[in-house]
Structure 1
Amino acid sequence: MKKVNWHFQRKTLAESYLQTVYQGAMSRIALLDVRRTGKTTFLLKDLYPIALENGFIPVYINLWGEPDSPTLAITQALNNTLNALNETVTGKLSELANSEIKKLEVGNNVFGKATIEFSDKNAHKPSESELFKIGQLVEALFNKCGDKALIIIDEIQHLASSEKFLSVQHALRTALDTYSDICVVFAGSSRSGVNAMFSDKDKPFYDSAFMIDFPRLGEEFVRHCCDTLREHFDLNYDALAVNAFYEEIDKSPFWMMKLMTYLMAHKASLTEGTDYIKALMIQDGDFEGLKKRLRDLDIEILRLIRQEKTALYSAQVVEELSKTVASEVTTSAIQTSVKKLKGMEIISQYADKYYIESPGFIRYLEANSP
Structure 2
Amino acid sequence: MKKVNWHFQRKDLAESYLQTVYQGAMSRIALLDVRRTGKTTFLLKDLYPIAIENGFIPVYINLWGEPESPTVAITQALNNTLSILDETLKSKLSELANSEVKKLEVGNNVFGKAIIEFSDKHAHKPSESELFKIGQLVEALFNKCGDKAIIIIDEIQHLASSDKFLPVQHALRTALDTYSDICVVFAGSSRSGVNAMFSDKDKPFYDSAFMIDFPRLGEEFVQHCCKTLKVHFNLEYDVLAINDFYEEIDKSPFWMMKLMTYLMAHKASLKEGTEYIKALMVQDGDFEGLKKRLRALDVEVLHLIRQEETALYSASIVDYLSNKVANEVTSSAIQTSVKKLKTMQVISQYGDRYYIESPGFIKYLEATLKV
Q: Settle same-fold status: TM greater than 0.5.
A: yes
Indicate the residue corresponding to 1:108 in structure 2. Answer: 108
Indicate the residue corresponding to 2:316 in structure 1. Answer: 316
Confirm or deny: 8 A CA contact 2:134 2:172 kept in the other structure.
Answer: yes
Q: In structure 2, do the counterparts of structure 1 residues 72 and 139 end up closer, same or farther at CA, with 3 Å as the change threshold? A: same
- Aligned positions of 1:81-100 closer than 5 A: 81-100=81-100
Task: Select between 47-56 and 198-207 the one with higher mean Cα deviation.
Answer: 198-207
Confirm or deny: 8 A CA contact 1:63 1:153 kept in the other structure.
Answer: yes
Q: Deviations over 1:205-260 (max 9, x none)?
A: 11100000000000000000000000000000010000000000000000000000
Aligned-pair CA distance for 1:191: 2.0
Structure 1: distance between partners of 2:318 and 2:233: 53
Task: Give the residue type in structure 1 aligned to 2:250.
Answer: D
Structure 1: distance between partners of 2:191 and 2:5: 29
Indicate the residue corresponding to 1:238 in structure 2. Answer: 238
- Paired residue total: 370
- Aligned positions of 1:272-283 closer than 5 A: 272-283=272-283
TM-score, length-normalised on structure 1? 0.98
SS across alignment from 2:113: coil
Unpaired stretches in structure 1, ≥5 consecutive residues: none
Structure 2: distance between partners of 1:322 and 1:131: 53
Query: Aligned Cα RMSD in Å?
Result: 1.2
Establish whether residue 292 from structure 1 lines up as the match of residue 292 from structure 2: yes
Confirm or deny: 8 A CA contact 2:200 2:206 kept in the other structure.
Answer: yes
Task: Give the residue type in structure 2 aligned to 1:87.
Answer: E
Aligned-pair CA distance for 1:113: 3.5
Indicate the residue corresponding to 2:221 in structure 1. Answer: 221
Q: In structure 2, do the counterparts of structure 1 residues 277 and 111 end up closer, same or farther at CA, with 3 Å as the change threshold? A: farther
Indicate the residue corresponding to 1:39 in structure 2. Answer: 39
Confirm or deny: 8 A CA contact 2:64 2:115 kept in the other structure.
Answer: no
TM-score, length-normalised on structure 2? 0.98
Unpaired stretches in structure 2, ≥5 consecutive residues: none
Aligned-pair CA distance for 1:117: 2.1
Task: Give the residue type in structure 2 aligned to 1:256.
Answer: M
Aligned-pair CA distance for 1:111: 11
Aligned-pair CA distance for 1:123: 1.3
Q: In structure 2, do the counterparts of structure 1 residues 109 and 70 end up closer, same or farther at CA, with 3 Å as the change threshold? A: closer
Q: In structure 2, do the counterparts of structure 1 residues 286 and 31 end up closer, same or farther at CA, with 3 Å as the change threshold? A: same
Q: In structure 2, do the counterparts of structure 1 residues 196 and 66 end up closer, same or farther at CA, with 3 Å as the change threshold? A: same
Aligned-pair CA distance for 1:168: 0.5
Task: Give the residue type in structure 2 aligned to 1:158.
Answer: H
Aligned-pair CA distance for 1:112: 7.6
Aligned-pair CA distance for 1:124: 1.2
Confirm or deny: 8 A CA contact 1:229 1:235 kept in the other structure.
Answer: yes
Indicate the residue corresponding to 2:153 in structure 1. Answer: 153
Structure 2: distance between partners of 1:191 and 1:65: 20
Establish whether residue 250 from structure 1 lines up as the match of residue 227 from structure 2: no
Confirm or deny: 8 A CA contact 1:22 1:183 kept in the other structure.
Answer: yes
Structure 1: distance between partners of 2:296 and 2:201: 35
Structure 1: distance between partners of 2:170 and 2:50: 30
Establish whether residue 74 from structure 1 lines up as the match of residue 74 from structure 2: yes
**Percent same amino acid at aligned positions?**
86
